[in-house]
Amino acid sequence: MKRYATRVGIDLARRSNHKAVLVCDDGSGAGARQKAFSFSHDLEGFEAFCARVMKQTGKASLEGVTVNMEPTSGVWESVACFLKNRGAEVYFTRPDVVSQLRKVHSRFAKTDRIDADTLTRIPVSLPDRLIAIVDVAPRIRALRSLSAQRQRLVEDVVRWKSRFIAKAEMAWAPLFVHLDNEARVCVLVRAFFKKFCDPREVVRYGQKRFETWCRKTAHGNTSPDLFDTLWQGSAKAAALWEEMERSGAMAVDWELFGNLLAQDLRLIENLEAEIDLLDAQIKTARTQVPECDLLEQLPGVGKVISVTLAGILMPVDRFANTKKCGGYTGFTSRHKASAGREIQGLKITKSGNRRLKRDLALAADTAILNDPELAAFAIRLLSAGKHYNKVRVAVGRKIAVRAYSLLKRSAAGEAHVAYIWRDLQGRTITKQQAKSITNELWTVYKAGRQ
């Protein structure tokens, strides 16, 4: 086992100075622990850290020094890259591992010094938990940052849509009960709530005039049934609020209510406009990453998910094999063994990139409807009584492994790398034939269930 002679644990901070603990091992494994020290976020602080370590070790550089830290927010990258450039071996350990080990070392207290001291112990007590810092090419880093920002904006849009619907349902429940999820925030419904906030305004507008307005405002593929749904729902809501105000049960400031709805809709549209700008930037950035086009050949992987896979999985040479890549996704079960016997069927780990896991699960939903091998695998698990979410996890891991295989072959310089569609006997088929076989598999499965 590799021996880490000089170890430094850094407890990173976002709003205060970083805290570090240095241990110079004398060969016994315990080492002489130095007093904890702090250093700032700027160049002066980084240089002071290097000078302090070199003074304690008596060396002219950081070579042979092992630095371990937690990946805190975004501040860890600059520290890690700076120290790695100065010759140090830089690693990070997952926060949940550090938290559990700290509780063992100091159960009744938590300070920056204790956390930094815990990080110095990990290279000796849990060396397999050290994750090396890898160099990421600027083209991959740009794609990763853009796709992460896009995902955050998409989540914000979903939250604001939910808030808008919850707010509007207070007065328009008789309408929303008849609208499906997609229609609730479509182009016509948004224009509808910008124009009408009080249901009685729609009734006064008149049905014929209202339908004419809908035809002019609606998107080209909007179903005419939506026009009638909006009118009938408005009539029912208007009758309800006539009675509510007549009886004095509840009074509403309709002007204020309309302004709040309009504000929510403006926020949603602004966020969607930012997403469109990001999509244009991603389209430009992915021209520097041809691997995205390669990954797009995978079943269930489109333009958005291919960017996520390329940005997070690359560079692939940090994974020794497909098992390591599968473990990185977090779509693997926990390991628990005793007396030489490994316990099977445990829940998946909480590790892994959240965005990667989300996109792999979405890809799995589509992949099992297009790829015969994945469809047969999913049907086998469902027939065994597995929950659909567990099936998504298992299929998502297979997609990640296939993505790794394609990227590995491409990185090795193999010419004409492409995804090959196969039937259940392993014969090469076309994408259309794969779709036909998959449909037949699911038809037989559904008939069997009935």
Inside any domain, residue 191: yes
Inside any domain, residue 266: yes
Q: CB pairs under 8 A, 24+ apart, for 174-183?
A: 174/233, 174/236, 174/237, 174/240, 175/199, 175/229, 175/230, 175/233, 175/234, 175/236, 175/237, 176/233, 177/233, 178/229, 178/232, 178/233, 179/229, 179/233, 183/226, 183/229
Pair (177, 206) in one structural domain: yes
| Final residue belonging to a domain, choices 285, 305, 327 | 285
Q: The domain spanning residue 102 has which CATH number?
A: 3.30.420.10
Query: In the chain, pLDDT over 90 holds for what percent of residues?
Result: 57
Helix (H, G, I), strand (E, B) or coil at 288: helix
The predicted-structure confidence for 322-380, as pLDDT tens digits, reads as follows 888 888 888 777 667 666 676 666 677 767 788 999 999 999 999 999 999 999 999 99
Q: How would residue 420 be classed by pLDDT, with cut points 50, 70 and 90? A: very high
Which has the closest alpha carbon to 237: 188, 190, 179, 161?
Answer: 179
According to the model, what pLDDT value does residue 221 have? 81
Residue 290 is classified by DSSP as: T
Residue count of the chain, please give it. 450
| Final residue belonging to a domain, choices 227, 254, 285 | 285
The predicted-structure confidence for 142-184, as pLDDT tens digits, reads as follows 999 999 999 999 999 999 999 999 999 999 999 998 998 888 9
Residue 14 has pLDDT above 80, yes or no: yes
Residue 286 is classified by DSSP as: G
**How many angstroms separate the CA atoms of 279 and 409, rounded?**
28
According to the model, what pLDDT value does residue 219 have? 80
Residue 431: domain span: 290-449
Inside any domain, residue 122: yes
**How many angstroms separate the CA atoms of 229 and 123, rounded?**
65
Pair (383, 315) in one structural domain: yes
Type of residue numbered 410: S
**How many angstroms separate the CA atoms of 248 and 49, rounded?**
71
Pair (393, 340) in one structural domain: yes
Pair (333, 239) in one structural domain: no
Pair (245, 321) in one structural domain: no
**How many angstroms separate the CA atoms of 306 and 297, rounded?**
9
Inside any domain, residue 13: yes
| Final residue belonging to a domain, choices 285, 303, 332 | 285
Inside any domain, residue 161: yes
Pair (279, 294) in one structural domain: no
Pair (77, 148) in one structural domain: no
Pair (317, 300) in one structural domain: yes
Inside any domain, residue 1: no
Pair (438, 295) in one structural domain: yes
According to the model, what pLDDT value does residue 31 have? 57
The predicted-structure confidence for 89-137, as pLDDT tens digits, reads as follows 999 888 888 888 887 777 667 788 888 888 888 888 888 888 888 888 8
Pair (267, 295) in one structural domain: no
According to the model, what pLDDT value does residue 346 have? 67
Pair (279, 296) in one structural domain: no
Inside any domain, residue 352: yes
Q: How would residue 432 be classed by pLDDT, with cut points 50, 70 and 90? A: very high
**How many angstroms separate the CA atoms of 194 and 197, rounded?**
7
Residues ≥6 apart with Cβ < 8 Å to 238: 199, 200, 202, 203
Tell me how many domains the chain contains.
3
Pair (308, 426) in one structural domain: yes
Inside any domain, residue 205: yes
